A = this chain, B = another copy of it.
């Protein structure tokens, strides 16, 4: 992934789990505080960096960059840079990224349902 230490037990555990459990593998990829929500917004269509930032009011630019980079590295979002000034960069889901749609919807519905039960 990004700066994770390849000598740590944690790294070894993640690898082992991901190897034998595709759902753990998937969770590693779309895990992280903002990844799912970013994908959720991108399901509606392309968005620029600044637009995403507005949609996720409390995210810092650093976190947004990190998450987008991670999603890009996982082939879930595609990044397009336009050679303009000021710069314009657009993010959109790839095909495999778009296939997260039913999962995100599922989580959404499950979450709504769970909220009712939990309180």
Contact = CB atoms under 8 A, between A and B. Distances in A.
A22 B106 contact: no
Interface residues of A, number: 44
Which of A9, A16, A96 has the most C-beta atoms of chain B within 10 angstroms of its own C-beta? A96
Interface string A97-119: 00110111011111111110110
A52 interface: no
Contacts of A112: 22
A88 interface: no
B24 A37 contact: yes
Interface in A27-48: 27, 29, 31, 33-34, 36-37, 40
Contacts of A75: 114, 117-118
A37 B17 contact: yes
A21 interface: yes
Given A16-B57, A23-B108, A25-B115, 16 more contacts: A13-B58, A14-B33, A17-B34, A21-B36, A21-B108, A22-B112, A22-B115, A29-B111, A29-B114, A74-B118, A75-B114, A75-B118, A96-B113, A99-B110, A103-B103, A103-B107
